Structure 1
Amino acid sequence: MRLITKYKLVCTLAIILLTSIFSIGMQNIRIIDASHIASSIVARIVSSSAGAEGFIVTTLVFCLIPFLLSFSFAQKKLILTSFIVVLACAFGIKTTLKTTFEAPRPFVEELVNLGSISTSTEFYQLSDPEKLKVIDDVSLNVDKWRLQEWLDGSDYSFPSGHMLFAVVVTIFWAPVLIIKRYYCLAAMSVIWASGVGASRLWLGMHRLEDLYASIVIALILCMLAPKITRMYWNKFEFLHRTKSHSPNVASPW
């Protein structure tokens, strides 16, 4: 248990470090710019892997890990149930915080600077068709990949749902891969999560503090994952059995 906790912390620190490095490299990049099309295409693809377009596929791919490794059937149930619960908690927390803080996205503030709207508050008071019209009015100044992201994500900024999903997935599964000595796959997962964060910055959807908040939330949830699993197992699996006949199921962690 201590070893897996250590690996979770190591993965978290690596994600923070890489995300910070990526953000430094983008300090002088303006989101109102149509001259970096190739980078925007890559950012859009990476972002989509953790968004509405690809998160189901990404989730299913990572959920294959316990089936490909030497886990017993009981351990598979434990770890997959825990993962699903953690993801559900992450989604609920993200939704609650977005509606509580109502932080405008960076691209909305750029629209204010361009004079398309008077204030960021005004943007969020518009109807969906009106939001789309405001965004479309700057289409000549923005590459279509960023523009499409803006059209799809006209809600609030804090925290980043994409980053929260990517970091939960990575902090949950990368330590398992490390324990099983799949170091390259674990490293790829960390790089992918950091890339998701960088893509959200590049596309003008989030600030660095949104990403950091998502990382912290993901770490807390993943640290609680073993306890969540044990609670589930004790309540639903052993409820009908006497203590003397309960199987001794080793934790996948």
Structure 2
Amino acid sequence: MVKKLLQDKREGLLLLAGFLLIVAPMSLFVSHIDLLSEVCDVVGFSFTALTDSAGSKGFLITLSVLVFISWRVIGFNREFLAKLFQLGVILVIGFAAKTGLKHVTESPRPYTELLTHQLLIPNPEHFYKLDAIQKEEMIDEISQQVSPWRTSHWQGEKDYSFPSGHTIFASICLAFFGGLFMQHKRYGLALMVGVWAVCVGYSRLWLGMHRPMDLVGSIVFVAAVYALMPSFSQLGMWMMQKLKYPAHIHR
């Protein structure tokens, strides 16, 4: 049964493995990211758009686009409904676990290290002892040296670093939609989702919001949850019957 469970998800798991292999060595590039460097508007806008596409401001738009494309690829059938239910369950698990793990690990965000280096706080952990107003004032002070393309995100996310919620969402989309596209031989679409996921991950590093380990942990977590997720095929059949659709209809 476990073998069958994994076999049905081999494409999605393969894509996550590829994502992991690309993200893992990103630590080699992080050392070249200077958070104090000047940022042109094109670069700043591009990384902001990427990170927002997997964050609270834009994840629903991304999700809607991917669901629509999936519907066009496989049609409205029990597979489509089962996949949607799978997606909903893992999104709830992913976002709930993200919040819980952040409080358990209490890993400071990378930008707090810059605050420490600039002698604004004694150590990264001290940032989380400040109240909301003090944190905002601290980031305002460093904003004289750091591009607003970065500090605007710092102001919006003052919680802990591990794991990366944006990478969790990108990994879920890659496993579900990328895997689905591969199963239906739409390799170009799968590649596009993969490139987007990698770019989202790198945007989090570039902004000073995460370390490579945060991304790695997020991908591994999603892979584990996705691998153990039931197919819900019977539920898909039941929903089709309730909606008065014959199970064989594809479009």
For the aligned pair, the TM-score class normalised by the smaller chain equals 0.7 to 0.9
Aligned-residue sequence identity (percent) comes to: 30
Q: Does 1:202 align with 2:219?
A: no
Contact 2:52 2:58 in 1 (8 A): yes
Aligned to 2:163: 159
Structure 2, unaligned runs of 5 or more: 240-245
Give the superposition deviation at 1:228: 5.7
Give the superposition deviation at 1:151: 0.6
State the distance in 1 between where 2:49 and 2:128 align: 26
Q: Which residue among 218, 221, 226 is the counterpart of 1:217?
A: 221
Letter in 1 for 2:12: K
Aligned to 2:78: 74
State the distance in 2 between where 1:43 and 1:24 align: 19
Give the TM-score of the pair, scaled to structure 2. 0.86
Contact 2:161 2:210 in 1 (8 A): yes
Q: Does 1:7 align with 2:15?
A: no
State the distance in 1 between where 2:27 and 2:119 align: 27
What does residue range 79-158 of structure 1 map to in structure 2 within 5 Å? 79-158=83-162
Aligned to 1:59: 63
Q: Which residue among 18, 42, 49 is the counterpart of 1:45?
A: 49
Cα deviation 1:39-59 (Å, max 9, x = unaligned): 333221111100111011111
Q: Does 1:188 align with 2:192?
A: yes
Cα deviation 1:121-143 (Å, max 9, x = unaligned): 32112221211110010112111
Contact 2:74 2:80 in 1 (8 A): no
Contact 2:174 2:193 in 1 (8 A): yes
Cα gap change, 1:27 to 1:4, in 2 (>3 Å): farther
Aligned to 1:243: none
Cα deviation 1:128-184 (Å, max 9, x = unaligned): 121111001011211111011101111000000000110111111111101112111
Instruction: Give the count of matched residue pairs.
Output: 241
Cα gap change, 1:26 to 1:41, in 2 (>3 Å): farther
State the distance in 1 between where 2:39 and 2:91 align: 37
Instruction: Please state whether the residue corresponding to 2:209 is helix, strand or coil.
Output: coil
Aligned to 2:232: 229
**CA-atom RMSD, angstroms?**
2.6
Cα deviation 1:181-236 (Å, max 9, x = unaligned): 211110010111111110000000001100000000111122123x1625x829x9
Greater displacement, 122-131 / 162-171: 122-131
Structure 1, unaligned runs of 5 or more: 239-247
Give the TM-score of the pair, scaled to structure 1. 0.86
